[in-house]
Amino acid sequence: MGRKLVIVLGVIYFLLLSDIMCLYILYYLTLRQNPGYTYHNFDKPIPIINKVVYTYTGIVLAGYFTFYLTAIVLNCKYIRQASLG
């Protein structure tokens, strides 16, 4: 069980780092092409790579919030019993 947990956590860590790296690269490329970083021209289509990375980021955030809320719900009884001082 311990080895599998380390592998799963390593995969999650790698996916989070790759997501952050992709978002940074997209930000850098967008800033390089448009130094004002303004999107006032809505006639241009959004590149497919942006859609893919934003969708991936949304999935990662949804998974994070699901994990976070599950952890809170499962530990409510321990939170209630914790001392306040």
**Using CA atoms, how far apart are residues 69 and 14, in angstroms rounded to an integer?**
22
Residue 34 reports pLDDT greater than 70: no
Residue 68: give the domain boundaries: 2-81
**Using CA atoms, how far apart are residues 59 and 54, in angstroms rounded to an integer?**
9
pTM over 0.95: no
The pLDDT tens digits of the residues spanning 49-82 come to: 778 888 888 888 898 899 889 988 888 888 778 7
Residue 84 reports pLDDT greater than 80: no
Using pLDDT thresholds of 50, 70 and 90, give the confidence band for residue 41. low
Please state, as a whole number, how many other Cβ atoms lie within 10 Å of the Cβ of residue 56: 15
Q: Are 30 and 54 in contact, with CB atoms under 8 Å apart?
A: no
Q: Work out how many domains the chain is built from and give that number.
A: 1
